[in-house]
Each structure stands twice: as C-alpha cells, then as structure tokens.
Chain A
Amino acid sequence: MNILEKEKKLSALEKQIDGLGNKKSVEKLKIEIENFKLNEMTKLTAWDRVLLARHQSRPKAKEFIDYLSPDFIELHGDRLFRDDPSIIGGIGTIEGNVFTIIAQQKGSSTEDNIKRNFGMPHPEGYRKALRLMQQAEKFKRPILTLIDTPGAYPGIGAEERGQGQAIAMNLMEMSKLTVPIITVIIGEGGSGGALAIGFANKMLMLENSIFSILSPEGYASILWKDASKAAQAAEVMKLTAYDLKDFQIIDEIIKEPPGGAHFDKEKVFTETKKAIVETYNKLKRLSGIELYYQRNTKTRNYGFLQRFNYDNLGGIKNDIHKDFGNR
C-alpha cells in the first residue's frame, strides 16, 4: 500500500466519524485514526516520498515565499529574450534581513501548471536567476533559492537557446559569488535543472522531498528498459533526504508532519523559516572570501571514489562498505 492509498483510507476513516452518533465509538475511531497516522503514515518507503514530493496539494514555492517574506517584490525577465514564469525571482525580507529569493514554481491547478510549464524552466529562466544573483552580489544581499522542478525543459526552443550553456554558466558564476547562498529543496529536485540554482553554501531539504540525477521512471527505463519499475528504482537510487544526508550532499533536514507537508502547511513553513534564519545567522559571520572558499571546498569534496596506492591495497572496498553499511 503506497502513501496515496493510505491517504485515501485515512480520509475514509475521517468521514466515518460524521456518520457515527455514538460518543464512545467516535472516541474509539479517533484513537484508531491517531494510531494509523503515527504507525502507518510515518513508515515511508523511498517511492512514497517520491509520490509525496510530487503531491498535487504539496505547498508550492509561492506559498513558501508568501509566508517567509510577506513584503516580497517579484522581478521579471532575463533582459535577453523573455520572462520565464517557471522561475520566480525577487527581493524580500526574512526576519529583517533582505534576501534575493529565487524559486522554481510548479502550478497548483492544471491551468496554472501550463502557464508555469510544470515547473520546468527554459534557459531564459536560468539567465534570469543568474541576473538576479549577480545583482545580489552587487548589493551584498544573501541569496535564498527554493528548488522544486522535475528538471530543465527538454524542447526545441530550449535547445535552440542553449539549455546546457545556461545551466553551465549558472554553475560557473555561482561558484564565484561572495554572498551567502542558501538552498532549500521543497519538492522534486530533478537533475541539472535543479542543481543550476542549487550551488549553495548550505543545502537544506524538506523530509519528504527528493533530489536525484533523473526521475525514477527515466532511471528504470534506461537501465532496466521498463518504466513501470519506477518504485523499485526509487529504492535503489538513494534520493531521499536521509540518504543524501548520509552522503553529505545536503546539510540539514527539515521535519514534516506525518503524512506529508500538506497536512500541516503552517508548521512546515515555520520550521523552514526557523532553519533558514538559523543557517543565515551562521553564514553571516563569514566574510565574502570565506563564503567563496567554503562553497568551493564543499563542492570539491563531492564524489565517491578511491585513489589507488600501495597502502590501501586489499580490503579497501570492504572498509567503505562498512562505513556506509548502516544507512
């Protein structure tokens, strides 16, 4: 039973309460619901987390921004081609600190989704993000990016305008910045499209969000020639927040209520805000060069490999398996 089916069962149970007149049985049912929430809804497989990350009613970037910074002013356009609605950029204050906020926005309804291109940015979106980041660098503003995208858009127009070049340029320029960059993955983080605004000093992640090299469906169809094995692929790919924390790709996990972020949005927002402010207060103490250095050393250490030398001959592989065995 995956999480969506459990959710249906829960709502069915909650509907039953209305039908019952007897006080005792209502109490009994309430306890049953609580137990169900605690025992069943918290036991999540990787595939459950994928489903939650893509959930229709999961809070989207715009809702986060509205809560985090009520005085947010959106800025549009990349000054080269057009404005990409799938990336929101602008300036706002969070707890009195002025931030440049850049976020990937999925739509909440079908119409909105078509306008937002299902959260898949075009190159002009990335160039807008880059423009705003360089603006932030000029005025020494910290940068907050919120990631929620299935990936960069694969289409004719996107290729004509250099999707790869736009992402590469973002990565290169972000490595040079001397202001703090904080990234929060709030939903799906898909491949290069997510990383293009995620080259950060600190990377935070909501508990039920995912960050992966490609979608589990794509993975299953490329490696196993069978897209229906996506659930199995999700387990293998290690794309959940806890796995990534083990790999030291992300720095912190933001807790979610049982059953996913959409059950208690307010709580998720406050937790996120707390985590962002805490992280910012830590980064604030570092100077520009220290921030540059921290970001680059952190990135330099990504990778899982071993260099051959005569000391580690024999048994090196086993040692590493031991270290990561408990995850």
Chain B
Amino acid sequence: MNDIGKSISKRKQLKQKLNTFHEDRPFIKAQKMDVPKGLYELCPTCERTINKKTNIKNDYICSHCGNHFRMRAIDRINYIVDNDTFIEKGIGFITLNPLFQKGYEEKIREYKKNTHLDEAYIYGYGKINSKPCVIGVMDSYFLMGSMGSVVGEKVTKTFEYAIYKRLPVIIFCASGGARMQEGIFSLMQMAKTSAAVAKHSKMGLLYISVLTHPTTGGVNASFASLGDIILAEPNALIGFAGPRVIEQTIKQKLPDGFQRSEFLLEKGFIDKVVHRKDLKNVLAKLLTFHRGYNR
C-alpha cells in the first residue's frame, strides 16, 4: 500500500509541476482514474494477473511476457524527457461541440477531470539525453486519443513551433482515429496536420513518429505515417481500418499478428520496432545523427 501511495504522490507532484504553467486548468486533487480500481490487472497476452504497482514501476511492461501496456501521456513524458526540462506549450484550447451532440460536452469534462489533460494530446519543448526537441504525446485514455479540432490544431502548432525554433519533432501516436462527435471538422484535421508535416519537412528538419498501441484510422492516415523515421513499440496495433471492420467486410477471420508492428515491419512500413526500455536511447542517438541539419 505504501508503495502505491508513493507512486501516486510522485505522479501528483509531476502533474502539479506541469500544471504550474497554466493554473486555469482545473486541477482536482483526487486521483480517479490513476488509482487502479483493483490492485491487480490481467495481462492480455500471457493472461497472468500482475500487480499494478510493479507494473507502474516497470514502465507499464508486463514482467512475465514483455507486453507493453498503454501508457499515459504524462508518464510517457516523465519517462522519455530528461528531468525538469519539459515545458508544455499550446495551453488553453477549448473543445467545443460543433454538431451539438448530446452528452459530448459532459464527456469531455469528465475525461478532463480524470486525466488532467486539456485534450488527448500534449506537446512541448523538452530534452532527451540533453538534446533539445519538440515532443508531442497522445493519450489513449482520453476518448481513445481521438483527433478532434483541438488535437489537430495542437499537432499543427507542434510543427509550427518546431519550425520557428528549428527543432526536430518527436510524436508518440496513440489514437483510435478521428473523433466522430466533431464530424467533418475532425476529418479535415487530417489534411491540416499533413500540410504541417510537409512544411516542417521542407525546412530540412527531422520528424520521428513513434507508433504505440493503438494507431489506427485518421491519425494513421495522416501525420503518423509521414515521419522521416517511423518507430514502433512491439505488438502495437497499427493500421488504417480496425480489425473488426475488416472482418465484417471480408467475412473471414484475420490471421494472427495481422496489423501488429512486426507484421508492418515485415511489409516495410516501419523502420524499426523498439522495446520501450531502449526507446529513449534510440531516440537520443537519432537526434545526435541529425544534429548538423537542425540549423
């Protein structure tokens, strides 16, 4: 119990640190979604129960089979970025309800409360092994990390900020696709973000996209697949259409490992599958290789 308490208070401190940059954001002291509902959870691949506190200590990797669990954006930043170097940018976007969907605003409010994020995406300036870059992280716990107007705007801003500062961009993608509740506006974010990548690329700057579980739909069909270097975490679901949709369309069962990172590596759409433990070092190395071109 003590260990859990410690990890929670550590996360609280981290969140407070992030929140100092914008005190307008509602900060609720109660940790709702972060506190595991049970003490144990089931690993989907080896089907063993694992203690949540060891899981958190282990950077959300199953100690038995090495399954990568989904990681929260804040934990990801804490893990990848050097201590005390992350500065969040693009704060204060308000998600609106363009199609007047019933219950959408309440849903967003609830997710905001529970995840302590404005939206399913945060970005900012940070250092990886003391190499500066712009880092964007999507949070799949926020409405499945879907891309609405605000997420699209923030992704575009990521690239614009990077162009302004002449910095490389690293984006950790984790998304179910475009956000249906915002209708056509979400769809147009695909064009917007892709155009932003094109501009960034034209300046001769580096863009590394890291695909994590899951990257599907509109995000996969826009900025996620446009990286100069595309990395992926092991066994992540990556594809345009979801497996259920494909099964319904072709009316047959999909083969094992279909649309997983290793499958895509074999088909030639990913540069490298990187274990989460090595990710920081690999990214740092890649940044060093491209240092000369970041003028």
Contact = CB atoms under 8 A, between A and B. Distances in A.
Q: Are A and B part of the same complex?
A: yes
B175 to A, nearest CB: 12
Interface stretch (B130-138, B184-192, B281-289): B184-192
Contact of B183 (A156, A163, A167, A238): A238
A143 B258 CA distance: 37
Contacts of A152: 221, 240-241
A171 B194 contact: yes
Contacts of B240: 152, 154, 158-159, 163-164, 167, 192
Nearest to B238: A164
A303 B189 contact: yes
B184 A249 contact: yes
Interface stretch (B39-47, B56-64, B71-79, B244-252): B244-252
A156 B252 CA distance: 10
Interface stretch (B80-88, B120-128, B147-155, B271-279): B147-155
Given A156-B254, A164-B220, A167-B221, A302 B185 contact: yes
Given A164-B239, A237-B183, A309-B92, 16 more contacts: A152-B241, A171-B191, A191-B218, A192-B187, A192-B240, A212-B187, A213-B178, A238-B99, A238-B184, A247-B184, A296-B199, A300-B192, A303-B189, A304-B185, A305-B95, A316-B94
A154 B246 contact: yes
Interface in A167-199: 167-169, 171-173, 175-176, 191-192, 195-196, 199
B33 interface: no
A165 B215 CA distance: 12
A317 B98 CA distance: 10
Contacts of A222: 180
A239 B183 contact: yes
**Mostly helix, strand, loop or mixed at chain B's interface?**
helix
A299 B196 CA distance: 10
B260 to A, nearest CB: 11
A37 to B, nearest CB: 31
B77 to A, nearest CB: 22
A165 B198 contact: no
A308 interface: yes
B226 A212 contact: no
A196 to B, nearest CB: 8
Contacts of A44: none
B28 to A, nearest CB: 18
A236 B98 CA distance: 11
Contact of B246 (A159, A171, A236, A302): A159
A223 interface: yes
A172 B184 contact: no
Contacts, number: 177
B261 interface: no
A179 B247 CA distance: 40
25 contacts: A156-B250, A158-B240, A162-B225, A163-B239, A167-B221, A167-B240, A168-B223, A168-B226, A171-B221, A192-B218, A211-B184, A238-B99, A238-B183, A239-B183, A244-B184, A247-B184, A296-B195, A302-B188, A302-B192, A304-B149, A305-B93, A307-B94, A308-B92, A309-B92, A324-B98
A158 B267 CA distance: 12
Contacts of B246: 154-156, 159
A219 interface: yes
A306 B241 contact: no
Contacts of B245: 154
A222 B181 CA distance: 11
A223 B180 contact: yes
A214 B149 contact: no
A266 B220 CA distance: 40
A160 interface: yes
A317 to B, nearest CB: 7
B264 to A, nearest CB: 8
Nearest to A194: B187
Contacts of B220: 164, 168
A320 interface: yes
B188 A249 contact: yes
Contacts of B156: 300
B205 interface: no
A191 B99 contact: no
A109 B34 CA distance: 55
Contacts of B250: 155-156
A153 B224 CA distance: 19
B55 interface: no
B93 A163 contact: no
B167 interface: no
B193 to A, nearest CB: 8
Nearest to A191: B187
Nearest to A301: B192
A154 B241 contact: yes
B188 A303 contact: yes
Interface string A207-220: 00001111000010
Given A159-B258, A168-B221, A213-B178, A299 B239 contact: no
